[in-house]
Amino acid sequence: MLEEVKIGDKLRLRKAHPCGGFEWEVVRIGADFGLVCLTCEHKVFLSRRELQRRMKEHFPKAAGTE
């Protein structure tokens, strides 16, 4: 499942960010995954394993809807 995560996808994590937000957007993919909190725009980096553990829902960016 995690292999399908792409830049622009939205994720929902198990634990809320301190700002209260649950949703994140993927902004970087590599050794670490870069996520931006959609509520406060705070940026975090998570390893693949960490992301896999924290991710609750994945909302792939729909193709061709922009």
**Sites of contact with Zn ion (CB under 5 A):** 17, 19, 21, 37, 39-40, 42
Per the listing, tokens 């649950």 go with: 22
We find the least distance from the C-beta atom of residue 42 to Zn ion, in angstroms, to be 5
Nearer of residues 20 and 30 to Zn ion, judged by Cβ? 20
Rounded Cα–Cα distance for residues 66 and 16 (Å): 28
We find the least distance from the C-beta atom of residue 52 to Zn ion, in angstroms, to be 20
Q: Is 41 left (phi over 0), alpha (psi -120 to 50) or beta?
A: left
We find the least distance from the C-beta atom of residue 19 to Zn ion, in angstroms, to be 3
